[in-house]
Structures are given as C-alpha cells and as structure tokens.
Amino acid sequence: MNLAQIMALNQLKPGEQCPDPFESSGTFGSNVDILKGLVDDDLQEQVFSQLNGPKLISFDGDQTLYSDGANFDSNPRLANYLYQLLRHGVTVAIVTAAGYEYNVEKYEYRLSGLLHYFQSRGLTDEECGRFYLFGGECNYLFKLHSDYRLHPVREDGPGGWLTATQYLKETPGNWPDDEVLALLDISFEVASKALEELNLRGRVIRKKRSVGLVPIPGQEMTRESLDEIVLRVHEVVHRMNDGKGPGLPYCAFNGGGDTWIDVGNKRVGVQILQSYLGIPPNETLHIGDQFLNTGNDYAARDVAPCIWIINPQETTYVLKSILRLAGVSVRLPEERGDDSDASTDGHAELGEHSQEHINFEEMERRTKAVQMMDVYTGEMRPIT
C-alpha cells in the first residue's frame, strides 16, 4: 500500500520521460535557441530540478525521522534523501507533537544532526526556505533560513500564517481562549486521576497548548496503560458541551512511552501548510508511525495521502523509492566514484565525513546540549 501510494503521486506513465522544457513543444514555446542563450545555468538547473512526485512531504518526528524520545543526530543516508528533496523543489515539513512554544533552540537540539548536514552540503537560500517545522501539532511554525537556523514564521499581519489561513475554521487563530483552557483543564484532571488509580511511575505536566503524562526519569509505563489513558480522555472529552465535544480540534495519543493531549492535531497542521504554501492535497504526502485511533498521525488521513511506517529505516526506504521513481541519484557523496557523478549534484561535494568542512566543536556542543535536555519539557538537566 505504501508503494502504491508513492507510485500514484508520480505523474509519469511507465517508460515516459520528463519533457524538456526548452524543446519547441515545451514550456518556452518555439524560440528555443534564443531563450537558452538568455537563461543562465542556475535557472536551467532549477527548471530541471522539479521532482516528479509529491510537492509537499510532511513527517512525524519521533520514530519516523529518529528513534522515540531521541534526536536526529546521525543518519547521513536519511539526511541525504531529505537534502535531495529540498534540492529538487519539494517542500519538507516536520509536523511534530513536540511543543516548546517558540523556543527555537530546543527544536534545533533535536534536529542538530540534520541541520548540520544541510549546512555541510551547502543548501541555497531558496532550498533552505523549503524546510518547515510545525511544533505542538499545529501551534508553532518555523522556517529554515540561510544561516541554517530555524526562525519563527510570523503569525499575524501581511504574510502571517495565522492571518493567511484564518478562513480555515480549525486554525489556531480561531480558537477561543476559554475553550482552550477548558480542554486543558479536563485533560489534566483525567491524566492526574489515571496516574493515581493505575499507580503509574509517571508525572503529569501541563504546557500552554498540551497536557502530558510522562515517565519518571529511569522508569517506564506500559503501552496498555498509556492506551487506557487515551481512551479515558476520549470518553470524557466527547461528553463536553452536552455531548457535542470540545468545540475545537484536539488529539489524545499514545506516544509509545508517554501520553499527550494536544490542542490541535496534524490534520490542522498539514492543512495549514497546504493552504499557506498553495499546495493541493493530491500533491501532498504525510509520513508517520501513529495511525491507530490512539495515535496522532491518524487525523492527517483526512487531508493528505499517508504512508504508515514503523521506524526511521522504513522512512529512509520510502524516500529512496520516491527519489528513484523521479530519476534522482540516491548515492551519498562518498559513494560517487568520479567527478562526473559529483557534478550532477549541482553543489560542491563537501561530504559529511570531510574534516575540513565539519566543525566538530559545534557538533560536540550540540550533542551535549541534546543530552542535557528533557525532551518532554525542554528543561535542561545534568548529564548522568
């Protein structure tokens, strides 16, 4: 089913080749030689670099791009595939439940290896601008800039993502504050009661747009217990407002080692990206690992084709298949044995293992920072 989904997004028929836009019957019409002389090499490369496949690919974070509760610190092959997508005109977005409001450094800690890889390969300003991160399901939007740092996207005013998508009923800009607080209050109450009744080795934490029941450091909670909490939340929340529900989108899900109740969900997050970027659902693909009714990728099925994976290795294979169907080389720089192969990349071959281009001091700083951060709360803690 995953492969069928990928092939359906590839718009060429079997054996058909991508048309040359500079041919007389192509995009630029008849005066081909004149136009070729006026168009520089960079623009020609840009014209040919548009991927035949999805134009927007959104990803879950934990257990999709990196192990559950871990960080994207070392996965050069997956990083290379994401880099190739950006280079070939695809918008890449991480839509994650991890919510640290607009504390950008906390998201960067979790993506430190990926951002460093992008820097080592030298993405252009335009290519960087195709990478987004949506934190808290659909609450905090960031965009990668040419300094290889994530920057908050303006919410209000001209160009603001909330302003541009306010016609969408479920966008965060349309959520009444009292309804948000009511949902958080009842979620906190249910989670706290479950913690006591089930005698769980955990703690309940509350954030601006979410409530979580997370394990005490060094302890674990069973999947069955986490599912029980999700089901309890569903039952209580559905009874709100005389059985009409909370009145705004939410997501209660089992994260594998924890349970979260978020205001908003990934249906809203993906739909906002589609609207804000002008990319239709039939050119969108969402990849995640939580498609049960106790998961938080499930809701994305309402607005986009989806790929259900179980670990980052499957994500890597999915992206490899997308790139291969589009005719894009999937080899790492060090696997290319000659200059001709390297030249097709369009960038200087820096390579992630080249010592002269890697700032190991910065890598060590980011690694230590990741180890010190509590991924649930974003708080810094001593390394043990």
The domain spans of the chain are: 53-170+266-372, 174-263
Q: What is the pLDDT of residues 218-244, one digit of tens each?
A: 899 999 999 999 999 999 999 999 999
Active-site residue, from 20, 33, 41, 62: 62
Question: What is the C-alpha to C-alpha distance for residues 312 and 289, in angstroms, rounded to an integer?
Answer: 9
96: tokens are 């994650």
10 Å CB burial of residue 64 (0-12, 13-18, 19+) is: buried
CA-wise closest residue to 186 among 211, 215, 214:
211
Specify the pLDDT at position 294.
87
60 is catalytic: yes
User: Are the C-beta atoms of 288 and 300 separated by less than 8 Å?
Assistant: yes
Phi, psi (deg, nearest 5) at residue 106: -70, -40
Distance CA 350, CA 122 (A): 8
With CA atoms as reference, report the closest residue to 92 among 100, 84, 82: 82
Take residue 158 and report the two structure tokens written for it.
């001209």
Q: What is the pLDDT of residues 123-178, one digit of tens each?
A: 999 999 999 999 999 999 999 999 999 999 999 999 899 999 999 999 999 999 99
Query: What's the CATH number for 53-170+266-372?
Result: 3.40.50.1000
Q: What is the pLDDT of residue 302?
A: 95
Which CATH architecture fits 174-263? 2-Layer Sandwich (3.30)
**320 CA to centre of own chain:** 17
Q: Which residues of the chain have pLDDT under 70?
A: 11-49, 69, 334, 336-372, 380-384
Annotated catalytic residue within 60, 73, 262, 289: 60
- In this chain, the answer to whether the domains covering 53-170+266-372 and 174-263 adopt an identical fold is no
| Gyration radius from the chain CA atoms | 22
The count of other CB atoms within 10 Å of the CB of residue 95 is 30
Neighbours of 37 (CB within 10 A): 9
What does the alpha-carbon distance between residue 331 and residue 338 come to, in Å, rounded to a whole number? Answer: 12
**Residue 45, Cβ density class (10 Å: 0-12 exposed, 13-18 middle, ≥19 buried):** exposed
> Is there a catalytic annotation at residue 62?
yes
Q: Is the pTM of this model over 0.85?
A: no
Residue 332 one-letter amino acid: L
